[in-house]
Structure 1
Amino acid sequence: MIDLPPPLALARDTHPVPDGTGLAWEPKWDGWRAALARTERGVALFARSGRPIGNSFPELEAAGAALPVGTVLDGEIVVWRGGQLDFAAVQRRGLTRASRAPALARSAPASYVAFDVLATGGGDMRARPWEERHVLLEQLLAPVGPPLQAGLATRDRTVALGWYEDLAAAGVEGLMTKPARAPYRAGLASGWRKTRHATLTDALVLDVAGPRAAPTTARVRLAGDGGRVVDVAVPPPLRRVLAAARAQAGEGAVPVELRVGTGRHGTVRFVRVRGDLTLPGG
């Protein structure tokens, strides 16, 4: 049996969806990342931080008892409502006292979408390549069934891009890209990358912070979003470009283009300075 709780793999943000040989893709589920371990003493669930959370999800503990002793999975706890992922429901369940867990399990039942197997039968599987681990994962979970299930995965980027578009309406955050021949590595050494749904939008730079000749942060007002004002980091290659544009505009409002996440994270990223655009309020 591997040490519990196990350190989990992490993913770097990237856009667009990576392309290339030797890659695999999975949907990025919107829930709580968790390791599920079937031990001789029962079933344990751990949040990504290592905190035990099994008492909050008794139905997943019960389902995990069908797994072979010594199995450790990596996956996501999700709640479906009306065919859509409900992150708020997962969060409520995970943060509510254990005495209410059985009632919440009936009103907002959780599922565990497993996307990796770290161990089974007591044997450590992490040195095996992803493609072998995923086949093993499907074999382990096929006789178990919901609420434990293996997540979707493909080696066909066209199929993955179809998921990226089609599953957004169900609340799926985007895509995960993984090296198919790589072992399971904890932290950002995993080689995993995540691409969340995002849209490009125009904005006005109202003010900046940092060195005058190379500002590091810009305060911007988004167009078409109720005039929302946010602070966004300026990438190093664009800092002098932004400074020059502001100097040319007499340090007035400068149009820029941003990438805004459409999921619950709503991450805002600086894309470029728009010298070809004049926005109202500039």
Structure 2
Amino acid sequence: MEFPVEVELAQPAPILPTGPHWWYEIKLDGHRTVLWRTAEAVRLQSRSGRDVTTWWTDVAADGMALPPGVVLDGEVVIVVDGRISFEAVQSRAASSPARARRLAQEHPALLVVWDVLALPSGDVRGRPYEWRRAAMLDVLAGLPSPSRLQAVSATEELEVAQAWYDSLRDTGVEGVVAKLGTSPYRAGRSAAWQKIKHAETVDAEVVGYTGAPLQPRMLAVRLPDGRTALSQRLDAPLAAQVAPDLGAAPPAGQAETAAGDAYTAAEPGLTVEVLASSAHRAAVTVTRLR
């Protein structure tokens, strides 16, 4: 396995999946990070594949206690006043190396680990999630205590996962990720991983779309707090309902959401009801046309 690795991504879902072999993990609001323990050092990789070791030297230092050859997948988070702070993570990631070191002294980071991709014996991505989780826990158990590397909380009990979802929102927890215990680690978006984020029903103004106006795939919407985000893919009935309005006016050019997602701009005027998460990168599901 060569640096960087393409990570597995969870598909958005409205509710927790049920059935045999589902595991549930707490979803934290931070930066996706892969830790590589090489023969001589530690390298940290972002979701996109950038080397971000310089900004997370406190995590890298604790990673030196891992056996060479270990590769871990997880989320870098920072806790401020008892709450996970995405703003603190963003501030560190956007700072100069010198300032990042100062911020690390003020608010040290944690790498909350949820997977192991490689062991000293080699690549283990083809193993089932349940096997990889047990191996990950064994690796982390060998670290000195305390450590900046910690295992994510996980359960096979649906009731426990629902309690996490219902009760931990005020601590900075985004929701729950469900993972199929029998699944290998696959690069890219996977139905074996599903993320269920906290959301609320709101009305949103349609400001654009992807695809053709008479066959829209997703809508770009402006939420009440001013955020613009792309929706999840529309189902066929909803696409048919909004298509006449989108096709009635000429396209207004190309635009991007704050997250960098491109869409074809449309004249405002159409309103839809959506389920929208309160996280920094809004997860939006269109439920009906207003």
* TM-score (structure 1 length as normaliser): 0.82
Question: For residue 199 of structure 1, what is the aligned residue in structure 2?
Answer: 200
**Alpha-carbon spacing, 1:273–1:127, altered in 2? closer, same or farther (3 Å):** same
Question: For residue 78 of structure 1, what is the aligned residue in structure 2?
Answer: 77
SS of 1:138 mapped into structure 2: helix
Give the CA deviation at 1:17. Answer: 2.0
**Alpha-carbon spacing, 1:109–1:201, altered in 2? closer, same or farther (3 Å):** same
Residue type at the aligned position of 1:71:
V
Structure having the higher Rg: 1
Residue type at the aligned position of 2:187:
A
Does the Cα contact within 8 Å between 1:205 and 1:220 map onto a contact in 2? yes
Give the CA deviation at 1:120. Answer: 1.3
Give the CA deviation at 1:206. Answer: 9.6
**Alpha-carbon spacing, 1:41–1:18, altered in 2? closer, same or farther (3 Å):** same
Question: For residue 169 of structure 1, what is the aligned residue in structure 2?
Answer: 170
Q: Work out the CA distance in 2 between the residues paired with 1:212 and 1:36.
A: 43
Aligned residues: 265
Q: Work out the CA distance in 1 between the residues paired with 2:75 and 2:158.
A: 22
Q: After TM superposition, list the pairs within 5 Å mapping 1:190-229 onto structure 2.
A: 191-202=192-203, 225=224
Question: For residue 240 of structure 2, what is the aligned residue in structure 1?
Answer: 240
Q: Work out the CA distance in 2 between the residues paired with 1:50 and 1:211.
A: 32
Question: For residue 52 of structure 2, what is the aligned residue in structure 1?
Answer: 53
Q: Show CA shifts across 1:132-164 (max 9, x none).
A: 111111111123243110101111111111111
Identical residues among aligned pairs (%): 37
Residue type at the aligned position of 1:267:
A
**Alpha-carbon spacing, 1:191–1:105, altered in 2? closer, same or farther (3 Å):** same
Q: After TM superposition, list the pairs within 5 Å mapping 1:124-203 onto structure 2.
A: 124-144=123-143, 145=145, 146-189=147-190, 191-202=192-203
SS of 2:20 mapped into structure 1: coil
Give the CA deviation at 1:205. Answer: 7.1
Q: Show CA shifts across 1:44-86 (max 9, x none).
A: 1111111111111111111001111111000000000011111
Question: For residue 277 of structure 1, what is the aligned residue in structure 2?
Answer: none
Does the Cα contact within 8 Å between 2:69 and 2:122 map onto a contact in 1? yes
SS of 1:10 mapped into structure 2: strand
Does the Cα contact within 8 Å between 2:70 and 2:117 map onto a contact in 1? yes
**Alpha-carbon spacing, 1:93–1:204, altered in 2? closer, same or farther (3 Å):** closer
**Alpha-carbon spacing, 1:230–1:76, altered in 2? closer, same or farther (3 Å):** closer
* TM-score (structure 2 length as normaliser): 0.80
**Alpha-carbon spacing, 1:37–1:271, altered in 2? closer, same or farther (3 Å):** same
Residue type at the aligned position of 1:257:
E
RMSD (Å) for aligned C-alpha atoms = 3.0
For structure 1, the residue ranges without an aligned partner over 5 or more in a row are: 247-252, 275-282
Q: Work out the CA distance in 2 between the residues paired with 1:148 and 1:217.
A: 38
Residue type at the aligned position of 1:241:
Q
Give the CA deviation at 1:266. Answer: 2.8
Does the Cα contact within 8 Å between 1:232 and 1:270 map onto a contact in 2? no
Q: Work out the CA distance in 1 between the residues paired with 2:132 and 2:184.
A: 9
Question: For residue 260 of structure 1, what is the aligned residue in structure 2?
Answer: 276
For structure 1, which segment, 64-73 or 9-18, has the greater mean C-alpha deviation from structure 2 after superposition? Answer: 9-18
Does the Cα contact within 8 Å between 1:69 and 1:122 map onto a contact in 2? no
Q: Work out the CA distance in 1 between the residues paired with 2:138 and 2:60.
A: 20
Does the Cα contact within 8 Å between 1:214 and 1:242 map onto a contact in 2? no
Give the CA deviation at 1:105. Answer: 0.9
Q: Work out the CA distance in 2 between the residues paired with 1:150 and 1:24.
A: 14
Q: Work out the CA distance in 1 between the residues paired with 2:6 and 2:207.
A: 42
SS of 2:183 mapped into structure 1: coil
Q: Work out the CA distance in 2 between the residues paired with 1:67 and 1:173.
A: 29
Question: For residue 24 of structure 1, what is the aligned residue in structure 2?
Answer: 23
Does the Cα contact within 8 Å between 1:75 and 1:116 map onto a contact in 2? yes
Question: For residue 99 of structure 2, what is the aligned residue in structure 1?
Answer: 100
Runs of 4+ in 1 over 3 A off after TM superposition: 202-222, 228-234, 239-246, 253-256
Residue type at the aligned position of 2:279:
G
Does the Cα contact within 8 Å between 1:9 and 1:190 map onto a contact in 2? no
Q: Work out the CA distance in 2 between the residues paired with 1:46 and 1:194.
A: 22
Does the Cα contact within 8 Å between 2:11 and 2:191 map onto a contact in 1? no
SS of 2:29 mapped into structure 1: coil
Q: Work out the CA distance in 1 between the residues paired with 2:13 and 2:130.
A: 22
Residue type at the aligned position of 2:241:
V
Q: After TM superposition, list the pairs within 5 Å mapping 1:108-119 onto structure 2.
A: 108-119=107-118
